[in-house]
Amino acid sequence: MIGDDDLDAIFASGDFDEEATFSNGLIVRGWFTDGSDATVMYNVAIEANKPSLICKTDDIASVRSRMTVTIRSVVYTAERIEKTGTGVSVVHLKT
Amino acid sequence: MADSKRQKIVDAVIARMKLINGAGSYTTDVNDHVEDSRTNWQEDELPAISVFDGDAASNLTSPAEAKSDVHEMSILIKGFTVQGTTAAACRTLMKDILTAIRQDTKWIVSGVPTAMQTRPGREAISREKDSFEVEGCEVEIIVQYITQKFNAES
């Protein structure tokens, strides 16, 4: 079973994690990805940016969608908070 | 060999959409990112426009043995933008597309009209859940043009 210590080791090891500061003052550490994915509109595919922050669900209990979050000096909006059910959440971001 | 009227009209629409440069009557700058039937774009290329020609219905110009046909062809102008902090970008692009169309609805090329007239068709905006940071719009126009029977060129 995954425990908090394990999650801390993953998200706060200092190796791959980033600091994220939410507009409510909350500061958490998690994995930030700035990848892209294809979306199709009117039969045309757009390879669109799809940034997200993966972190401990407990750490972002006070975060709501539409809050802003600053990561690497870039301000994003939290579009959607997806709970994976394993103590980890994915915050889908939009610039 | 001459291009078909269909090709001339599509080329004229593409050239017109390239006028959307953020100056004068235009708010958006598509930076020449307008292409014929392009089916994929990268987000960093947006705003961009793909132009598609669609079905064309033909009618005889007279009930007798007419020598020419009148065609009504659908053209789909599909615009894509980065959404940004508001959802206004695609509405603005749609406005600019309409501004460009009304400059000349007979699609005159080298002083010669390629079309008899252009009518507005459907307009739509798409903001889907999985579209991430981008949004799209589609403006349909119906272009009416005449050709000799079974002759695509004139």
> Which of A42, A44, A49 is opposite residue B40, by nearest beta carbon?
A44
- pLDDT score of B85: 67
Q: What angle is formed at CA B43 by the lines to CA B42 and CA B48, rounded to 5 degrees? A: 80
Mutate to test the interface with B, among A41, A90, A94 (most CBs of B within 10 A): A41
| Stretch B50-63: mean pLDDT | 85
> Is residue B153, in this structure, part of any structural domain at all?
no
Confirm or reject contact between B41 and chain A (CB < 8 A).
yes
CB B87 within 8 A of CB B127: yes
The parent domain of residue B91 ranges over 5-148
End-to-end CA distance of chain A: 35
Confirm or reject contact between A49 and chain B (CB < 8 A).
yes
Assembly ipTM: 0.84
Instruction: Please say if the pLDDT value at position B64 is more than 70.
Output: no
The parent domain of residue A63 ranges over 4-94
> Is residue B97, in this structure, part of any structural domain at all?
yes
> Is residue B80, in this structure, part of any structural domain at all?
yes
**For position B15, which CATH number holds?**
3.30.70.1700
| Stretch A57-71: mean pLDDT | 94
> Is residue B53, in this structure, part of any structural domain at all?
yes
| Stretch B7-14: mean pLDDT | 96
Tens of pLDDT along A9-47? 777 777 778 899 999 999 999 999 988 889 999 999 999
- pLDDT score of A10: 77
| Stretch B81-99: mean pLDDT | 89
Confirm or reject contact between A46 and chain B (CB < 8 A).
yes
**For position A35, which CATH number holds?**
2.40.10
- pLDDT score of B126: 87
> Is residue B154, in this structure, part of any structural domain at all?
no
Q: What angle is formed at CA A66 by the lines to CA B94 and CA A33, rounded to 5 degrees? A: 90
Residues of B in contact with A48 (CB under 8 A): 43, 131-134
Q: Do A46 and B134 touch (CB under 8 A)?
A: yes
Tens of pLDDT along A72-95? 999 999 989 999 998 999 999 988
Helix (H, G, I), strand (E, B) or coil at B16: helix
Number of structural domains in chain A: 1
> Is residue B47, in this structure, part of any structural domain at all?
yes
Least confident of A89-93, B40-44, B62-66, B118-122: B62-66
Number of structural domains in chain B: 1
- pLDDT score of B131: 66
Residues of B in contact with A42 (CB under 8 A): 76, 78, 124, 126, 136, 138
Confirm or reject contact between A73 and chain B (CB < 8 A).
no
Instruction: Please say if the pLDDT value at position A62 is more than 60.
Output: yes
Q: What is the pTM of this model?
A: 0.85
Mutate to test the interface with B, among A42, A52, A65, A95 (most CBs of B within 10 A): A42
